[in-house]
Amino acid sequence: MDGDAYLLERLKAWGYTPEQRPRHTYLAYCGLDQPFTYVLAHGVVKTSIILKNGKEFNIAYLKGPSLISLLRDEVSTFTSAPFNIRVESEQASFYKVPRVELWNALNRDPGLQQYVKEYYRCRWSEGIRSQQLLAMNTKKGVVCGFLLNMAQQFGCKVPGGTLIDFVVSYEDIAGFCGISTRNSVNRIISELRREGLIQLQGRRILIPSADRLREQIAE
């Protein structure tokens, strides 16, 4: 059993029940006091922060099952949320656990302690890769890298390539890639289509060849 499934099993055993929220519901707002840790059982959420200029900078899509955040220290009943959390799938099912109760339970369970270590290791590695992508690439390269990450997370094999089976707006792509406007993303997507690097299937993106798309990225 993997760590996410084990965490959900333990939450059920402790008597917690999942809650449901519809698309674009906010579970937490950056900077506001937050007494809970959220564990996503099913669905997709987006984490983001608001920059000083008022623009939204997207951090990650998280797909359930997944721990969303442990929210800093172990002992404070309330602590400020480090980012916004918004539901992006049609529905999301999640556990809302008082954060101190969860930390106390984690400290009694060696299996969950190892899970938390792996959680932070993965988030750290993802953060480093994201910074490298932004620092070393043109806007086009960053968008290509983002699409490859989406394919890894949401991709399914279909005739003709890999379909990103998740609808993401150009505005959200801009927010993930540090691009100022959705119009700039639209121009990049149009260029990638002309070059045969991607295709549009309705509102979803098909990648015919991940290798060809990867050639656009400086590493």
Shared domain check, 108 and 50: yes
Please report whether residue 219 resides in a domain: no
Contact of 176 with 58, CB cutoff 8 Å: yes
Residue 126 lies inside a defined structural domain of this protein = yes
Longest dimension (CA), the chain: 56
Same domain, 122 and 145: no
84 and 159 part of one domain:
no
Question: Which amino acid is it at 164?
Answer: I
- Please check the confidence at residue 37 and state whether its pLDDT lies above 60: yes
Domain termination site, one of 75, 98, 133: 133
Residues 71 and 96 in one domain: yes
- Please identify, among 84, 118, 133, the residue that sits at the C-terminal boundary of a domain: 133
Neighbours of 171 (CB within 10 A): 13
26 shares its domain with 108: yes
Same domain for 142 and 114, yes or no, is no
Same domain, 95 and 123: yes
Residue 175 placed within a domain? yes
Query: Residue 11, CB half-sphere, CA atoms under 13 Å: how many?
Result: 26
Q: What's the domain range around 14?
A: 3-133
Asked whether the beta carbons of 192 and 148 are under 8 A apart, the reply is no
Question: Are residues 185 and 142 both part of a single domain?
Answer: yes
Is residue 98 domain-shared with residue 80, that is, in the same domain?
yes
The answer on pLDDT for 75 being more than 60 is: no
In the three-class reduction of DSSP (H, G, I as helix; E, B as strand; rest coil), residue 72 is classed as: coil
The tens digit of pLDDT for each residue in 103-129 reads 888 889 998 889 888 888 888 888 898
With a cut of 90, say whether residue 44 has pLDDT above it. Answer: yes
Please give the mean pLDDT across all residues of the chain. Answer: 90
Distance CA 90, CA 87 (A): 8
150 vs 82: CA distance, rounded Å = 23
Specify the pLDDT at position 102.
87
Q: Identify whether the C-beta of residue 173 lies closer than 8 Å to the C-beta of residue 148.
A: no
Shared domain for 66 and 123, answered yes or no, is yes
First to last CA, the chain: 34
pLDDT reading at 138 higher than 80: yes
Contacts of 131 (CB under 8 A, 6+ apart): none
CATH number at residue 150: 1.10.10.10
Assign residue 42 the CATH number of its domain: 2.60.120.10
Report which residue type is found at 91.
Q
Going by their DSSP bridges, the two strands 91-98 and 19-22 should be labelled as antiparallel
Give the domain-ending residue among 105, 133, 161. Answer: 133
- Average pLDDT rounded to a whole number, residues 181-193: 95
**How many domains does the structure of the chain reveal?**
2
